[in-house]
């Protein structure tokens, strides 16, 4: 639908009543219980500030796109269709749709406009993936991260194998990097590496009311044998239950820690008490090892500490919905009763204001386990880019110089049996030249450091026939190649698809501090777009870091470039900001025109 850029009108905020109506429609369409959805989940599904704009595609389809306050598309619909989520919404709430897995290369084919075929899918399928249902599509490398959205054309839940079968599994409505995603041209939203899928909570039976909470009439209505069968709970038992974690001995704690991974692997056999234990251990590990600045919001506490300190287990099975508490607020209140922390607030809007000290017996005697966070760190260390510096910081950009052969080198590549149409790095070109010299036996027998040129090398290098030093020939040989470059983000490789190749030499970010109209000092930044820096984001960050106003406009020297200007002499501050964004220092040029020339 969005293979070509749609024509959109200016967006405008919708009324709160319209937002409530839209949210109710979403809940009804995607079978969500509106009453049971937490406030944070509601805002993930539909932002509090929602805008709408009409659009028309190149094929003549018209409809409405809904944006959040940052102009990021979150939902869309045509005039005669239901409302569909964007990928940005699914990355916030991935449980909204059933996910169909496919192979990584199939995502690239889908992005070019193809539908998802049945042989390209990977069973087993979600039981909700029935004909006509809206589904998310993810690859097997990131099975929890949706990369496309489509409509099911088959009852996929009935298929256990797909090899040799034919048919369209889903027609694609929206895919990563299509023009709907590109409508977000102001905010740089990275594709998440992994998402937590919240398993839909099954309907719960009404919990039995404790006898002590019943009135006289209700007690009379209970059969006598039911009263006799009630377990008698002594004060001693209640005390053991309340302080159960602190009553565990160090030896027992070590046994639990050593066996916790075995328990985590037997996912199918986990019951509620096992998952409860995981969360209690995660809290104790957080109290013992993490440094937390208080007060902290409950959502931040859970995402940055509790979830990361869980034992290594598939998050699809170990989440707050699988515990006996069901909600974050109930979990925190239960831990507060155990005197591990203190909370402030009501309902789901809680903050942690106090934590148990590290010298607490339960905390100090706790034996740590391997966590989800440590596993992800170790995985990220093993996936280093070949050829990159091992000490490269996370998020740093890598500039790779590559060269395209010119037509004069065709005979050379024919002799060495290599592709003339490929790009080559300098070291690869040097290796090809040495191989050619060996192949043609061009080394000077009287002086091994020199090479005797033949007609092919003479036409390529422009040197005269005869013997020349290797380094002279090598420099002249490189001039027969057109320079190009690639700027790789952290984790990207030169062989990855979708890598953009730029012609010429890599640019440098220009920073100039100068005086304007008398005594007014400003700092201008330009030529930064190739380093994945968007002007609105840079302007907002400079406004905060430099405590001054910033503007965006065309560059004076080259109107095709965008320039961000901030008040004041902030050259060093901007250099540090660019370094934090991964820009190599060697590609930053700073000129201070306020200093008098000597």
Residue 496 lies in a domain: no
Residue 312 is predicted with a pLDDT of 73
Q: Both 176 and 33 in a single domain?
A: yes
Residue 208 forms part of a structural domain:
no
SS3 call for 519: coil
Full residue range of the structural domain in which residue 441 is found: 399-484
Is there a domain that residue 478 lies in?
yes
- Phi, psi (degrees; rounded to nearest 5) at 355: -125, 155
Residues 74 and 192 in one domain: yes
Q: Where are the beta strands (DSSP E) in 116-247?
A: 116-117, 121-122, 134-139, 148-152, 168-175
Domain final residue, candidates 376, 411, 435? 376
Do 557 and 428 lie in one domain? The reply is no
Closest CA to 19 of 80, 90, 83, 95: 83
Q: Are residues 477 and 554 in the same domain?
A: no
How far apart CA 275 and CA 310 sit, in angstroms, is 10
pLDDT tens by residue, the chain, 598 residues: 788 888 888 888 999 999 999 999 999 999 998 888 888 889 999 999 999 999 998 888 899 999 998 889 999 999 889 999 999 999 999 999 999 999 988 998 898 889 999 999 999 999 999 999 999 999 998 899 999 999 999 999 889 888 888 899 999 999 998 888 888 766 667 788 888 876 554 444 444 445 444 444 444 444 444 444 444 334 344 444 444 444 444 445 555 555 554 544 444 456 778 788 888 888 998 998 888 888 888 877 887 888 888 887 655 555 677 788 888 888 899 999 988 999 988 877 788 889 998 888 888 888 888 776 554 444 444 344 444 443 345 568 899 999 999 999 999 999 999 999 899 999 999 999 999 999 999 998 888 889 999 999 999 999 998 899 989 999 999 999 999 999 988 777 887 766 788 899 999 999 999 998 778 899 999 999 888 888 888 888 898 888 888 898 888 888 888 899 999 999 999 999 999 988 999 999 999 988 765 5
Q: What is the CATH number of the domain that holds 470?
A: 1.10.245.10
The secondary structure of 483-497, three-state, reads EEEEEECCCCCCCCC
Same domain, 22 and 88: yes
Domain holding 85: CATH number? Answer: 3.10.400.20
pTM over 0.85: no
Task: Map residue 271 onto helix, strand or coil.
Answer: coil
Q: How far is CA 449 from CA 428, 434, 452, 465, 547, in A?
A: 20, 12, 10, 16, 60
**Cβ-contact 571, 560 below 8 angstroms:** no
Q: How many angstroms separate the CA atoms of 400 and 501, rounded? A: 10
Is 344 part of a structural domain of the chain?
A: yes
The verdict on 173 and 282 lying in the same domain is: no
DSSP state of 338: T
326 and 413 assigned to the same domain: no
**Contact predicate 356/245, CB 8 Å:** no
SS3 457: helix
Contacts (Cβ under 8 Å, ≥6 apart) of 529? 535, 561, 562
Q: Is 272 within a domain?
A: yes
Q: Is residue 302 part of a domain?
A: yes
* Number of structural domains in the chain: 4
Residue 210 lies in a domain: no
Which is nearest to 5 in space by CA: 52, 59, 50?
Answer: 59
426 and 330: one domain?
A: no
Nearest C-alpha neighbor of 50 from the set 79, 99, 85, 95: 85
6 and 113 fall within a common domain:
yes
CATH number at residue 530: 3.30.780.10
What is the widest separation between alpha-carbon atoms in the chain?
Answer: 115
Q: Answer whether residue 499 is part of any domain.
A: no
560: its two tokens: 């095709």
Q: What is the pLDDT of residue 266?
A: 43
């Amino acid at each position: 639908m969005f293979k070509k850029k749609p024509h959109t009108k200016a967006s405008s905020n919708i009324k709160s009543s319209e937002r409530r109506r839209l949210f109710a429609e979403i809940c009804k369409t995607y079978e969500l219980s509106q009453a049971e959805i937490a406030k944070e989940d509601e805002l993930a599904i539909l932002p509090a500030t929602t805008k709408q704009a009409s659009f028309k595609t190149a094929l003549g389809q018209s409809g409405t796109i809904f944006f959040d306050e940052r102009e990021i598309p979150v939902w869309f619909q045509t005039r005669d269709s239901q409302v569909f989520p964007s990928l940005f919404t699914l990355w916030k709430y991935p449980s909204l749709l059933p996910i169909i897995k496919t192979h990584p290369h199939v995502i690239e084919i889908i992005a070019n406009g193809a539908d998802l075929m049945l042989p390209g899918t990977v069973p087993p399928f979600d039981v909700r993936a029935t004909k006509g249902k809206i589904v998310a599509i993810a690859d097997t490398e990131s099975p929890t991260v949706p990369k496309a959205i489509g409509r099911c054309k088959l009852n996929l839940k009935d298929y256990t194998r797909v090899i040799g079968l034919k048919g369209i599994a889903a027609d694609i409505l929206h895919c990563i990097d299509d023009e709907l995603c590109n409508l977000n041209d102001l905010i740089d939203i990275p594709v998440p590496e992994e998402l937590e899928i919240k398993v839909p909570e099954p309907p719960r039976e009404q919990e039995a009311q404790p006898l002590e909470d019943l009135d006289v009439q209700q007690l009379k209505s209970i059969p006598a044998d039911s009263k006799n069968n009630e377990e008698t709970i002594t004060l001693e038992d209640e005390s053991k239950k309340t302080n159960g974690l602190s009553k565990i001995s160090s030896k027992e704690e070590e046994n639990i820690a050593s066996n916790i991974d075995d328990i985590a692997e037997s996912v199918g056999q986990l019951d509620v008490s096992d998952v409860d234990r995981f969360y209690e251990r995660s809290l104790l590990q957080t109290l013992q090892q993490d440094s937390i600045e208080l007060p902290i919001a409950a959502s931040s506490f859970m995402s940055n500490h509790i979830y990361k300190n869980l034992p290594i287990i598939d998050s699809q099975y170990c989440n707050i919905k699988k515990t006996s508490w069901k909600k974050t607020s109930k979990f925190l209140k239960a831990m507060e009763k155990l005197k591990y922390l203190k909370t402030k607030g009501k309902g789901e809007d809680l903050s942690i204001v106090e934590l148990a000290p590290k010298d607490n017996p339960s905390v100090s005697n706790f034996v740590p386990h391997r966590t989800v966070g440590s596993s992800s760190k170790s995985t990220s260390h093993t996936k280093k880019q070949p050829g990159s510096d091992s000490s490269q910081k996370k998020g740093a950009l890598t500039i790779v110089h590559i060269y395209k052969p010119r037509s004069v080198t065709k005979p050379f590549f024919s002799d060495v049996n290599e592709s003339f149409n490929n790009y080559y790095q300098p070291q690869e070109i040097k290796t090809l030249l040495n191989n050619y010299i060996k192949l043609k036996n061009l080394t000077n027998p009287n002086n091994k450091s020199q090479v005797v040129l033949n007609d092919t090398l003479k036409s390529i290098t422009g040197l005269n026939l005869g013997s020349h030093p290797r380094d002279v020939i090598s420099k002249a040989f490189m001039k027969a190649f057109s320079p190009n470059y690639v700027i790789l983000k952290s984790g990207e490789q030169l062989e990855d698809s979708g890598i953009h190749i730029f012609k010429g030499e890599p640019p440098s970010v220009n920073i100039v501090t100068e005086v304007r109209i008398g005594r007014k000092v400003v700092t201008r930044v330009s030529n930064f777009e190739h380093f994945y820096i968007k002007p609105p984001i840079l302007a907002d960050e400079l406004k905060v870091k430099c405590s001054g106003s910033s503007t965006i406009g065309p560059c004076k020297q080259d109107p095709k470039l965008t320039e961000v200007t901030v008040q004041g002499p902030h050259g060093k501050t901007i250099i540090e900001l660019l370094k934090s964004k991964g820009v190599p220092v060697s590609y930053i040029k700073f000129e201070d025109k306020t200093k008098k020339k000597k």
